[in-house]
Amino acid sequence: MVRKFCFVAAASVTFCGAAQAQVNDLAQRLGSRADVLQISLSPLGKQIAYIAPAGRGERVMVVDVDKGGEPRPILAVDQPGGHLTWCKWPTETQLICDLRLTAPFGDTLIGWSRLYIVNADGSGSKMVDPDSARTVGISQYGGSILAYDVKGESNKILVSHPVYAQQKTGSLIGHTHGGLEVDELDVTNMRRRQIEQLRENSDGYITDEDGKVRMMVTIPQDTQGYLTTDQWTYLYRPKDSSTYQLLTPRTEIKDLSIQAVDSANNRAIGIGRVDGILKVLSIALDGSGTVTTLLQRPGVDVDQLIRIGRSNRVVGASYATDRRTVQFFDPELKALVDALQKALGGNSLLEIVDASRDEGRLLILDRSDVNPGMTYLYDKATKQLQELLPLRNGTEGLKLSPMRAIAYKAADGTSIPAYLTLPPGVTSPKGLPAIVMPHGGPEERDEWGFDWLAQFYAQRGFAVMQPNFRGSAGYGEAWMHQNGFKSWQIAIGDVSDAGRWLVSQGIADPKKLAVVGWSYGGYAALQSAAISPEVFKAVVAIAPVTDLDLLRNDARNFTNFKVVSDFLGHGNVDEGSPTKQAKKIVAPVMLVHGTLDEQVDEKHSELMRDALKDAGRPPEFLKFDGLGHQLSDSAARITLLTQSDAFLRKSLGIQ
C-alpha cells in the first residue's frame, strides 16, 4: 500500500488539499489503539504475554521469546463495556488477567472487576474468586493480587477478595458492613487457605517483599456508609506480631499513600505531602513512627515509586519537570539503566516494565515524544538486548513532531509551564492555525512523550499547545489552589491565556485558534469559550463535564458522594457550569461522548447540546454507542480524528 501525506514546509504552512482517503489513512495510523496495551514477562523470562486491541475489546497474546514463536491468542473479551486491563504470570504456564466491565445497574452506570486465571495455551479459563454466597447486595470489586511466590513457592499467591457489599471508593452504597479477606491460593489446583479474616471496612492490604501481610488500609465511613474523607487510615503489624496497631505519622504529612513494606529495614514506604510538596517517605514500623525522606525535589512533586521483580521491590522514584526523571536507590540498577539508555540513543524515557524471578532478564520499554515505544528483553548474563514489539506499528515511517517544553505568562504574571508541538518541519512558526489542548483531571498534568491527539493535529498543520494550568498536579499543593473546579476561574483563565500567548507571539492566526479537550479538558474548553469568547473560534469537547450539580448528583448513590460534593464546592455551581453559560459561547462547538461513560455521564453532553440549541447555536454532536470514557475502540478514535479535523477546518476557514 502506498501512503501519501501532506507535510508542512519549514518556512510556512502549505495545505495541499489531501484527498479524504489520505486524511483517513493518517487518522488510522495515529488514532488506532496501541498494538501493545500492556505486557508482562514470565517467571523464567522465556515468555511474554501482551494485551492487544480486538475491536472494542482486547485479546491476550503469548510469545515464546527464546524459540522465536509467533504470537498466539489465548483469551479475548469482546462484550460491550468490557476490557482486559492487565495480565501477569503466577507460574510459567499460567496467567492471571483483570477484566473490567461497565454496565447499567438500574439508572446508574457502574464498574465491575473480576480476576480470571487461564493456562498459557488458552485452556482452563476460570474466575479466581467466584462471587461468594455470603455477599450481601452487589460486589463490584473482584479482588486483587497482593503477592507472588509466597513462601518461596512459585504456585502460591496472595489474593484479596470482598465478602460483603463492596465498600471501595466509587462503589455503590449497599450493606453498611463489609470488607476484604485475604487468601493464600494455590493456582495449580485453586485450593485456598485464609490468611486474613474479614475486618470491617478493610479496604486493602500491603505485603512485604516476602509476601507477608504487614499493613491494612481502611477509609472512615459514616453510619450511612458514605466516606467521610478521601484519606486512608493505615494499621501495621510489628515484626513477628499478628496484632495490628494504628500507624500515626506526623501531623504535617498530608495525602499519605503507603505502597510498600521494606521487611529488611522494617519500614513502610510511600508518598506523602510535606510543606506542600509530595516526597518519598519511609516510616518505621517499630512503634517509633520515625519518618525519613528518601527523595524530594524542590518545587516538584515526587509522585511515582519505581518497583520491579516478582516481589515488587522499591528501587527508585520519579518526578516530572520538563520531562520525567527517575532516581534509583539501587546503584547497580542505575548503572545498568544508564548504559541501556545510552545504547538506545540517550534521548528517551527508559522503563523497566517487568523482570524474571531472579531479575536476570528485564523487560524494557523505550519511548519518547517521537517514538510511541519499543519493547526489549535484556539478558544480564549475555548482556544482549533483544528487540521485541513496537507499541504502535502504524506510526512506522511517519515523521512525528517533537514536543517542546515552554512557559508563558498568565494575565497576573504567573509563569505557566506548557508543551508545544508544531507541524513537521516548522521551526519558525508564524500565523499557524493552532489548538490549545487542556488535559483532563483536573488533578493530572501533561508530560513529555508521545501523544496521539497532538501528533494528529500537528500532522494536519496545527500548532498544539498543552498547558499545565494552575490546578494541575505535579507542581505542589499551592499550584493546585483549591482544585480545578473550586478554583475554576484561575484554571480556565490560564487556558484562555495560553491562546492569547500563541497569538501575541505570532505563532497562531487569531482567526484560526481553537480549543480541544477531553474530560476536564472538555470542561475547560467549553468554560474558556464562555468566559473568553473573543479568544477561541472553535471548540471540541470530548466526554466533557458540563454541569457541576449534575456531576455531584452522579455520585449521590456512591460511597464517595460527600467527598465528591466537597471537591466540587457549592458557591460556584452556576458560574462554573458551561450549561449555565451557554449563551456566552459564540464559537461553533462539537461535542463527543460515549454512551457507556461511567466517569462522566453522557447526560453532560446532552444537557450542553440542549443549552446551546436554546441559545440559537446548536452544536455538532458525535455519539458513540457502547463506548466508555476513553473511547477504547480504534474505529471510534479514527472517526473522532477525521470528523473533528473536518469540523475545525470548516469552523476556522481552513482549506
pLDDT band at 56 (very low <50, low <70, confident <90, very high): very high
Taking CA atoms, 196 is separated from 157, 163, 180, 199, 320, in Å, by 14, 12, 8, 8, 38
pLDDT at 229: 76
Q: Between vectors from CA 579 to CA 574 and to CA 580, what angle results, nearest 5°?
A: 35
Contact 472, 439 (CB under 8 A): yes
The string of pLDDT tens digits covering residues 200-222 is 778 899 999 999 999 999 888 77
**Which ranges constitute the DSSP H helices of 10-68?**
20-31
pLDDT at 529: 98
Per the model's pLDDT, the better-predicted residue between 163 and 264 turns out to be 264
Q: The domain 407-652 is classified under which CATH number: 3.40.640.10, 3.30.530.20, 3.40.50.920, 3.40.50.1820? A: 3.40.50.1820
User: Which residue, chain included where needed, has cell 489446583?
Assistant: 189
Among 168-172, 205-209, 450-454, 466-470, the minimum mean pLDDT is found in 168-172
Q: How many residues does the chain have?
A: 655
pLDDT at 516: 98
Q: How many Cα neighbours within 13 Å face the side chain of 348?
A: 23
* Ramachandran angles phi, psi of 335, nearest 5°: -65, -40
What is the average pLDDT across 122-145?
Answer: 76
pLDDT at 2: 28
Torsion of CA 469, 474, 479, 480, to 10 degrees: 80
Domain locations along the chain: 407-652
Q: Is 156 helix (H, G, I), strand (E, B) or coil?
A: strand
pLDDT at 3: 28
Among 14-28, 319-333, 558-572, the minimum mean pLDDT is found in 14-28
Please name which of 133, 139, 77, 146 lies closest in space to residue 111, comparing C-alpha atoms: 139
The string of pLDDT tens digits covering residues 282-296 is 999 998 999 999 999
Please name which of 551, 641, 560, 564 lies closest in space to residue 604, comparing C-alpha atoms: 551
* C-alpha cell read off for 390: 513496537
Per the model's pLDDT, the better-predicted residue between 607 and 241 turns out to be 607
pLDDT at 633 over 90: yes
What is the average pLDDT across 62-88?
Answer: 92
- 551, amino acid identity: L
Q: Between vectors from CA 416 to CA 415 and to CA 422, what angle results, nearest 5°?
A: 120
pLDDT at 15 over 50: no
Distance from C-alpha of 542 to C-alpha of 7, rounded to nearest angstrom: 27
Strand blocks (E) in 47-190: 47-54, 57-64, 72-77, 82-91, 94-105, 108-119, 126-127, 144-147, 156-162, 180-186
- Share of residues in the chain with pLDDT > 70 (%): 93
The string of pLDDT tens digits covering residues 304-354 is 999 998 999 999 999 999 999 999 999 999 999 999 999 998 889 999 999
Contact 447, 467 (CB under 8 A): no
pLDDT at 200: 76
The string of pLDDT tens digits covering residues 401-455 is 999 999 999 999 999 999 999 999 998 999 999 999 999 999 999 999 999 999 9
User: Which residue, chain included where needed, has cell 457502574?
Assistant: 110
pLDDT at 351: 95
The alpha-carbon radius of gyration of the chain (Å, integer) is 25
pLDDT at 412: 97
pLDDT at 494 over 80: yes
pLDDT at 137: 56
Contact 289, 283 (CB under 8 A): yes
- Share of residues in the chain with pLDDT > 90 (%): 78
pLDDT at 176: 44
